[in-house]
Structure 1
């Protein structure tokens, strides 16, 4: 019988790519999520019965233990960008990660891969970054041979980075951003999945890997690249940090007064993160150590950002027609 991997958060943005690659590698895949009915789309990643979504709450020992039963490897893809209800940074990204590692160790599971984040730091001003670093420490305390991956901003068809700002660019002549000069090195989602699979299957050694793409650019520069792809001209405005903090405070207050109904486009914690460069430190291993050639932005962005062009899928056809008339 083929080996079994449990992927916590296997229906999320990165998790679905990991699940697909593990299935292609011949593994049985158990996708552990809070809402299995919303993760049915993962089942076609393999043959009938190869990929199965199951319920799991990583805040509960019994739930995690059931999800790990019989597994040969475990991958933790769970993470949150904003706190909501009981899903606090510490509960999910620190204690949740530690719980998975502890129960995996108790169950004799040999391989574990934990997805953290670039910039994870116990001394950071950002609670998100501190919880990620604390989660790494808990994982390594129970599974010292685990592979920890720290991706920079992850891009791909389902991302909430380029898609979000491309959607914003459709309305009005101005594109406001926070941390305009902060440096990023975006990494393609499937490159992250390839790295994770190497760790889960025991091909890659354990340790901390910082995963980044081939191009380093400022937030402003990345937004200009996105605008070029969607063929729109917008004035990119870098908001001063004090203005951003005032806005975040207002969004947070509105969210609380509306009992969570009002959206929070940005939080004060995210502002802390956006004030620090999100690039490799140079002290950890990376994609090169895994013999993975990083994918360039320009080879992927046009494949999924075209719906945000003025003429959508017909933009290139219209441009060709104009050339013919000329």
Structure 2
């Protein structure tokens, strides 16, 4: 039987890990040191303690996983115990610390970030609930977290907003995101603002929802333009910010291409090998009335504000991916991964064939007449 004495284990660790180097020491903005040690990866200790508010959401799950693989100790505040169970295997023993909290209780907020040097705020809700309206969840709450983080001496604060955040937007959700940016900057002037576009991935509200409810994506004749981005890319970009704590600015993270809902519906149809949807295109007024009625059911459904957002194009702003060291991937690269489950058993292993992308309209010369047929 093979056995290992404690001295042999210590020798193996010395050989594998080696001596510490200068790059193992990182000075945080508050002048405190963060010293990393151990083998690279899951079992490492990065010397950083991070709190991720909103960790049980779509983006938060992948961010915690990325941070855990870096050897970061992650505080994961939760409201429901069942939603926090999935975090247990995302980090080594003692690296994932679960704590119950309430966004309205400043004491629980302070307890969750008391020993953290970095705070990510991903808290948000894109529809009203009986406990929180859109503004309370997306603006008031983040402002409260930023204020307490500044009082507790947190060195780095990262706020997740949206690419279309604007105080003048017809959407209450986009208005609240813009207000949150102002409140966070007021309380924590050196905060980093992340503005991702609509994200896709496992359990998303884009590709998988299109496969189930295509009728709701035909609003505006399906001509609304969005810039979908992979949730893995956004999570990796946010994890990379730990290595650059001095980056206090607004970072736009759109997808690499601007696509219409019409193309994305064709993409879903082509990948799932299902017949195209014959559902009619609903007028905006009818869709708004139906979405208000849908608020009476117990599971999340299309909200009136989401109907408004289906008519808003994504902002055409340049991406800041170079600043976070990530190259975003196209949606076709991952479409089969997330849509294969909607195929029939007969077509399950067939290769994916993507529809041709619509070519952009050709530029018209100022000297060209539209009536010139020669």
Give me the TM-score of the superposition, normalised by structure 2. 0.76
Change (3 A) 1:4 1:44: same
Q: 2:219 aligned to 170, 178, 189, which one?
A: 178
| Alpha-carbon distance in 2 for matches of 1:110, 1:313 | 52
Instruction: Give the alignment of 1:27-176 within 5 angstroms.
Output: 27-168=72-213
Q: Are the counterparts in 1 of residues 195 and 252 from structure 2 also a CA contact under 8 Å?
A: yes
Which residue pairs with 1:261 in the alignment?
A: 297
Q: Are the counterparts in 1 of residues 143 and 180 from structure 2 also a CA contact under 8 Å?
A: yes
Range with greater deviation from structure 2 (193-202 or 220-229):
193-202
Which residue pairs with 1:299 in the alignment?
A: 333
Q: Is 1:289 paired with 2:323?
A: yes
Which residue pairs with 1:324 in the alignment?
A: none
| Alpha-carbon distance in 1 for matches of 2:55, 2:95 | 14
Which protein shows a greater Rg? 2
Higher relative contact order, chain-length normalized (CA < 8 Å, sep 6+)? 1
Which residue pairs with 2:255 in the alignment?
A: 213
Q: Are the counterparts in 1 of residues 156 and 245 from structure 2 also a CA contact under 8 Å?
A: no
| Alpha-carbon distance in 1 for matches of 2:246, 2:131 | 35
| Alpha-carbon distance in 2 for matches of 1:157, 1:292 | 20
Range with greater deviation from structure 2 (301-310 or 285-294):
285-294
Q: Are the counterparts in 2 of residues 184 and 278 from structure 1 also a CA contact under 8 Å?
A: yes
Alpha-carbon distance, 1:167 to partner? 2.3
What SS does the aligned partner of 2:350 have? Answer: helix
Which residue pairs with 2:267 in the alignment?
A: 225
Which residue pairs with 1:323 in the alignment?
A: none
Change (3 A) 1:37 1:264: closer
CA deviation map 1:44-77 (0-9, x unaligned): 0111221122111112211211111111100011
Alpha-carbon distance, 1:236 to partner? 6.5
Change (3 A) 1:138 1:201: farther
CA deviation map 1:134-154 (0-9, x unaligned): 001111111111111111110
Change (3 A) 1:312 1:183: farther
Which residue pairs with 2:365 in the alignment?
A: none
Which residue pairs with 2:69 in the alignment?
A: 24
| Alpha-carbon distance in 2 for matches of 1:269, 1:176 | 14
Change (3 A) 1:10 1:254: closer
Change (3 A) 1:204 1:277: farther
Which residue pairs with 1:198 in the alignment?
A: 240
Range with greater deviation from structure 2 (289-298 or 92-101):
289-298
Q: 2:290 aligned to 250, 265, 268, which one?
A: 250
Alpha-carbon distance, 1:279 to partner? 3.6
What SS does the aligned partner of 1:288 have? Answer: helix
Q: Are the counterparts in 1 of residues 198 and 227 from structure 2 also a CA contact under 8 Å?
A: yes
| Alpha-carbon distance in 1 for matches of 2:231, 2:250 | 18
Give me the TM-score of the superposition, normalised by structure 1. 0.87
Alpha-carbon distance, 1:222 to partner? 1.3
Q: Aligned residues, how many?
A: 306
Q: Are the counterparts in 1 of residues 340 and 348 from structure 2 also a CA contact under 8 Å?
A: no
Name the structure with the higher helix share: 1
Task: Point out where structure 2 has 5 or more consecutive residues left out of the alignment.
Answer: 1-44, 354-374
Q: Are the counterparts in 2 of residues 306 and 313 from structure 1 also a CA contact under 8 Å?
A: no
Change (3 A) 1:4 1:195: same
Alpha-carbon distance, 1:238 to partner? 7.0
RMSD of Structure 2 on Structure 1 (CA): 2.3
Q: Are the counterparts in 2 of residues 113 and 200 from structure 1 also a CA contact under 8 Å?
A: no
Q: Are the counterparts in 2 of residues 73 and 110 from structure 1 also a CA contact under 8 Å?
A: yes
What SS does the aligned partner of 1:300 have? Answer: helix
